[in-house]
């Protein structure tokens, strides 16, 4: 047994001289001892606090034996679905089963159940009566209240009820788990552990809840009334603050779900300690024969430098899980981990990432956040950066500089997302310059997500003009550096608020910047996000304004296709979308048209040569920013004139097309007539011949002639025709 991995079976326990573990941690992911994996952090934190922890990774949930593998734990079971919600892990946005699970050995699917947290807990209850069960991780955290579940298209109860667990730990759980362990170790029954921030429990009555709570609409009301759901979500969202947040209660039948306010973020010293624990930075060797755990490869040479995000993108659940207050590790801690990485056997000189949810957020948005909490009604970056926002990249730059000077390090990349609006708000160019000079591998991925002001508002993303300004700056700096680097922008289709017209607007923007995304991400209504609440209710919970939600398969397909309008395969959908959006002015031959009229060769096939947009060199130039603003404005000003010309052209085209069709029809008829004549002649000739042969053979009909008879085809002939 590799001594330093935590026990996964009885033999491992015996090697350590243990006859019982304090905690058995059941996880939907394979066992990877790396701080990018939640179960690894929790198990090492508890080990550091003096507890004996065993791991039960990906147990067989159809029987109880796997849950009994380590015996009954002294203090309780800890259950997590893994690093992802099990439904997101299993299904694509189209609710189709995914092909791979990168958190399982060799990407094998089917090693965890749907709704893993619930299934595991119920199996543990079957195996051991009255054992304390504490659930945590992303799945439990984001399903802690009554929530909309995209896969069943219903509002589900809190996962705490469905799982029958005793306690739910939400957010990053290090502080909570150590406190819970201490109480259990002191002999306090789990049902009395009710006061720890960052946890949820079930109460029989409101009298059991200490003062200062807010009651939100019940499960029943939220399931029956979408407005109530939006109201409940707004309170959950706004109270998600460790400084000013209040306890929230939500009735579920005869019981009450109680959410204590969020746990305070870890201090820098605490965070350093968590990341400095004795992780082996590897997957358990039992997976070697199956090809290891692919998810590890993405993070093995990466360093988590921060947590939390004040970006508030509506489709991201991070605010709800890690919170708005950014916490960061110290320079020493990051450098120490980096040196450890450079000493790994398979280190090739490249540190793949130094970041967090947002790489360039290294400190809280403002001092007020720490004293009185983050603003309830205001976002730090949306619709534009708050005046109180503390903008500084110096400290992060200092760390990156030191990392790239380390022995054996050839290059340090920054691959976590960066917020370009935060960069643009920085008066100094130093960060962007050094980022482009040293930490980008030729392409910088950024996520403007859309271009329509309405959709960007619903997404809580920066305005399109900020992206334009960033692009300009990006290419200017690259030019100064003499580097050829490109921006890869990510766009999302069918987000709440995105009408077909907005999707056409985005397609036109892509046409103007001559960029075609290789992949398009459809909005995925995952649990716990503001956008998911919009998707379900058709309301923006923060404003209670109505929001358009594209839901039909056809419309979603059309919106997605518009983003890749040059793809010949998408032609029919794009055509249908433009007709539906009353934008047939974009069907034609002019430079502003997205596609050709029907019956003509699809856009990209016919115009690869003359269409500068699809020409690689030009595309690079444009994405590089050589299509200057003046030119874009000029284009926009001439749009009306061009549209008029297009309409004229379309009319001409359709006239031409009608003429052509008419001519073709006439020609076809002529050919059919001539063919008919030929057949008639042939028949008559044959008739004459048959008559001749009957005469010659005294009235006997030959076999050959019989098979040709239309009334009685032989089996052979019939089969031939069937094919």
CA 317 vs. chain centroid, Å, equals 10
Burial category of 720 from C-beta neighbours within 10 Å (exposed 0-12, middle 13-18, buried 19 and up): exposed
Bridge partners, residue 587, by sequence:
595
Least distance CB 393 / ligand SF4 (angstroms)? 16
Q: How far is the CB of 221 from ligand SF4 (least distance, A)?
A: 31
Paired tokens of 444: 């910088």
At its nearest, how many Å lie between ligand SF4 and the CB of residue 238? Answer: 12
Cβ 379 to ligand SF4 shortest distance, Å: 6
CB of 377 closer than 8 Å to CB of 370? no
Nearer to ligand SF4, 268 or 388 (CB): 388
Nearer to ligand SF4, 325 or 642 (CB): 325
What does the alpha-carbon distance between residue 150 and residue 113 come to, in Å, rounded to a whole number?
17
- The least distance separating ligand SF4 from the CB of residue 102, rounded to whole angstroms, comes to 35
> CB 551: neighbour CB atoms within 10 A?
12
Round to whole Å and give the CA distance between 717 and 579.
Answer: 47
In the complex with ligand SF4, which residue's Cβ is closer, 368 or 433? 368
Is 309 known to sit in a ligand binding site?
yes
Residue (362 or 560) nearer to ligand SF4, CB:
362
Q: How far is the CB of 244 from ligand SF4 (least distance, A)?
A: 11
> Where do the H-state alpha helices sit in 8-82?
10-15, 38-48
Q: How far is the CB of 460 from ligand SF4 (least distance, A)?
A: 12
| Cα separation, 649 vs 654, whole angstroms | 8
At residue 51, the 3 state secondary structure works out as: coil
Smaller CB separation from ligand SF4, 358 or 498: 358
Residue 581: both structure tokens together: 């959006």
In terms of CB distance, is 389 or 488 closer to ligand SF4? 389
Q: Compute the least distance from the CB of residue 370 to ligand SF4, in Å.
A: 10
Is there a binding annotation on residue 316?
Answer: yes
Residues that bind ligand SF4 (CB under 6 A): 365-366, 368-369, 374-375, 378, 380, 386, 388-389
Closest distance of CB 247 from ligand SF4, Å: 22
Nearer to ligand SF4, 410 or 427 (CB): 427
**Nearest distance in Å: CB 540, ligand SF4:** 18
Whole-number minimum distance, CB 29 to ligand SF4, in Å? 34
Q: Which residues contact 679 (CB under 8 A, 6 or more apart)?
A: none
What residues have CB less than 8 Å from 259, skipping those under 6 apart?
144, 145, 170, 200, 236, 247, 248, 249, 250
Nearer to ligand SF4, 96 or 371 (CB): 371
Residues in CB range of 671: below 8 A, 6 or more apart: none
Q: What is the DSSP letter of 250?
A: E
Q: How far, in whole angstroms, is CA 618 from its chain's centroid?
A: 31
Q: Do the Cβ atoms of 320 and 528 come closer than 8 Å?
A: yes
Tell me whether residue 207 or residue 377 sits nearer to ligand SF4 (CB atom): 377
**Nearer of residues 67 and 310 to ligand SF4, judged by Cβ:** 310
Considering beta carbons, is residue 319 or 604 the nearer one to ligand SF4? 319
Smallest gap from residue 262 Cβ to ligand SF4 (A): 15
Residues in the chain: 723
Nearer to ligand SF4, 42 or 309 (CB): 309
Write down the H helix ranges in 78-224.
86-90, 116-127, 137-142, 159-163, 174-185, 219-224
Q: Which residues contact residue 309 at a Cβ distance below 8 angstroms, ignoring those fewer than 6 apart?
A: 316, 318, 319, 322, 324, 326, 356, 357, 358, 361
What does residue 426 show for φ and ψ, rounded to 5 degrees? -85, 125
| Apex 620 CA angle, 614 and 622, nearest 5 | 85
Task: Please name the residue that has the structure tokens 């209670």.
Answer: 544
Contact in structure between 271 and 5 (CB atoms under 8 Å) = no
Helices 464-481 and 430-438, axial angle in degrees (round to 10): 60
C-alpha of 18 from chain center: 41
Reading the block at residue 218, the tokens are 């019940």
Cα–Cα distance, 324 to 712 (Å, whole number): 81
Task: Show Cβ contacts of residue 263 under 8 Å, excluding neighbours closer than 6 positions.
Answer: 171, 172, 175, 176, 196, 197, 198, 242
Q: Are 430 and 476 in contact (CB under 8 A)?
A: no
Binding site, annotated residues for [4Fe-4S] cluster: 309, 313, 316
Which residues contribute to the annotated binding site? 309, 313, 316
């Amino acid at each position: 047994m590799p001594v330093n991995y935590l026990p996964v079976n009885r033999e491992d326990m015996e090697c350590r001289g243990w006859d019982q573990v304090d905690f058995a941690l059941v996880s939907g992911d394979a066992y990877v001892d790396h701080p990018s994996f939640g179960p690894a952090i929790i198990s090492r934190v508890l080990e550091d606090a003096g507890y004996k922890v065993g791991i039960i990774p990906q147990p067989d949930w159809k029987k109880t034996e796997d849950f009994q593998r380590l015996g009954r734990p002294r203090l309780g079971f800890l259950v997590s679905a893994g690093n992802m919600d099990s439904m997101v892990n299993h299904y694509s946005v189209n609710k189709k089963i995914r092909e791979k699970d990168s958190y399982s050995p060799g990407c094998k699917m089917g090693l965890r159940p749907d709704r893993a947290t619930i299934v595991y807990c119920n199996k543990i209850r079957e195996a051991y009566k009255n054992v304390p069960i504490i659930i945590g991780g992303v799945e439990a955290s984001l399903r802690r209240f009554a929530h909309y579940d995209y896969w069943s298209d219903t509002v589900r109860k809190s996962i705490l009820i469905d799982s029958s667990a005793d306690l739910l730990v939400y957010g990053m759980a290090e502080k909570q788990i150590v406190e819970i362990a201490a109480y259990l170790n002191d002999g306090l029954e789990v049902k009395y552990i009710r006061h720890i921030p960052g946890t949820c429990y079930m109460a029989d009555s409101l009298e059991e809840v200490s003062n200062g709570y807010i009651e939100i609409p019940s499960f029943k009301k939220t399931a029956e009334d979408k407005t109530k759901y939006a109201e409940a979500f707004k309170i959950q969202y706004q109270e998600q603050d460790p400084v000013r947040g209040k306890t929230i209660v939500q009735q579920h039948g005869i019981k009450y779900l109680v959410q204590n306010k969020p746990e305070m973020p870890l201090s820098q010293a605490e965070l350093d300690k968590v990341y400095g624990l004795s992780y082996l930075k590897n997957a358990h060797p039992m997976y070697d024969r199956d090809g290891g755990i692919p998810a590890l490869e993405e993070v093995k040479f990466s360093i988590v430098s921060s947590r939390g995000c004040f970006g508030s993108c509506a489709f991201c659940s991070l605010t709800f899980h890690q919170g708005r207050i950014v916490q960061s590790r110290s320079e020493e801690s990051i450098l120490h981990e980096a040196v450890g990485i450079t000493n790994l056997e398979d280190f090739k000189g490249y540190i793949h990432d130094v970041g967090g949810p947002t790489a360039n957020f290294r400190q809280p948005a403002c001092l007020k956040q720490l004293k009185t909490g983050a603003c309830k009604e205001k976002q730090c970056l949306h619709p534009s950066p708050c005046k109180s926002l503390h903008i500084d990249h110096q400290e992060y730059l200092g760390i990156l500089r030191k990392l790239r000077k380390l022995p054996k390090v050839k290059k340090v990349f920054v691959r976590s997302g960066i917020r370009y609006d935060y960069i643009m708000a920085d008066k100094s160019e130093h960060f962007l310059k050094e980022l482009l000079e040293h930490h980008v591998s030729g392409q910088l991925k950024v996520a403007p997500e859309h271009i329509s002001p309405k959709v960007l508002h619903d997404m809580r993303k920066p305005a399109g003009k900020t992206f334009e300004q960033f692009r300009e700056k990006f290419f200017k700096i690259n030019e100064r550096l003499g580097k050829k680097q490109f921006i890869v922008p990510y766009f999302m289709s069918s987000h709440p608020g995105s009408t077909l017209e907005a999707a056409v607007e985005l397609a036109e923007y892509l046409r103007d910047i001559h960029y075609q995304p290789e992949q398009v991400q459809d909005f995925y209504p995952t649990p716990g996000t503001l956008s998911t609440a919009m998707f379900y209710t058709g309301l923006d919970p923060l404003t209670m304004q109505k929001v358009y939600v594209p839901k039909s398969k056809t419309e979603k397909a059309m919106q997605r296709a518009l983003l890749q309008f040059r793809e010949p395969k998408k032609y029919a959908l794009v055509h249908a979308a433009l007709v539906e959006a009353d934008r047939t002015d974009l069907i034609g031959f002019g430079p502003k048209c997205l596609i050709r009229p029907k019956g003509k060769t699809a856009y990209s096939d016919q115009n690869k040569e003359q269409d500068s947009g699809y020409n690689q060199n030009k595309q690079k130039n444009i994405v590089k920013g050589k299509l200057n603003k003046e030119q874009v404005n000029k284009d926009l000003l001439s749009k009306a004139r061009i549209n008029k010309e297009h309409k004229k052209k379309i009319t001409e085209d359709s006239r031409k097309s009608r003429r052509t069709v008419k001519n073709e029809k006439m020609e076809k008829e002529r050919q059919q007539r001539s063919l008919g004549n030929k057949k008639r002649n042939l028949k008559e000739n044959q008739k004459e011949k048959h008559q001749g042969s009957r005469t010659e053979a005294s009235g006997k009909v030959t076999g050959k002639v019989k098979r040709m008879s239309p009334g009685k085809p032989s089996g052979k002939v019939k089969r031939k025709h069937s094919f």
